[in-house]
Structure 1
Amino acid sequence: MIKVGTFFADESGATAIEYGLIASLVSIVGIIAFTALGDTVLTAFTDISEDFCVAIGGTFSLTADGADSCT
């Protein structure tokens, strides 16, 4: 029979819980960082695409699916 005091004194699962909390915090920070940088990366690639399009003599207009953006 297990005593109640022994049950509460047992810390064998504490490390696993701590690692789980750390992993979840790292995931949350990663998601926030990627969300914040998403528009910046999209803008950078759009600017590069526009520069290439203008360099070959085309006109650039970003479409929803990206098809035929350089005409």
Structure 2
Amino acid sequence: MVKRIPQKRRHSIVLFSCVLNLCAVKYFYRVLFDRVRQVAKRIANIRVDKQSIEGELFSAICNDSEP
């Protein structure tokens, strides 16, 4: 004989699993966006370093060309 789960209990199980899934999705996106932010910061730092190096080279070239 198969035992049936009462309707109220079934609803609470469904709600609990929905909340659990929501928490898992929220955690996944938080980790994902943290990683994206880290990569974006790294790219921004590389661009800033590249611009500062190019600026130093440009000023060195300009200063050398003056008499």
Q: TM-score, normalised by structure 1?
A: 0.49
Q: In the alignment, does 2:52 pair up with 1:56? A: no
Task: Return the structure number with greater relative CO, CA threshold 8 A, min gap 6.
Answer: 1
Residue identity matched to 2:59: I
Which consecutive unaligned segments of at least 5 residues does structure 2 have? 62-67
Q: Is the partner of 2:54 in helix, strand or coil? A: helix
**What is the aligned length?**
54
Which structure shows the higher helix fraction? 2
Which consecutive unaligned segments of at least 5 residues does structure 1 have? 59-71
> How many Å separate the matches in 2 of 1:13 and 1:54?
61
> How many Å separate the matches in 2 of 1:16 and 1:53?
55
C-alpha displacement of 1:36: 4.1
Which structure: larger Rg?
2
Identity percentage of aligned residues: 2
Residue identity matched to 1:55: F
- Aligned partner of 2:30 in structure 1 is 27
C-alpha displacement of 1:26: 0.8
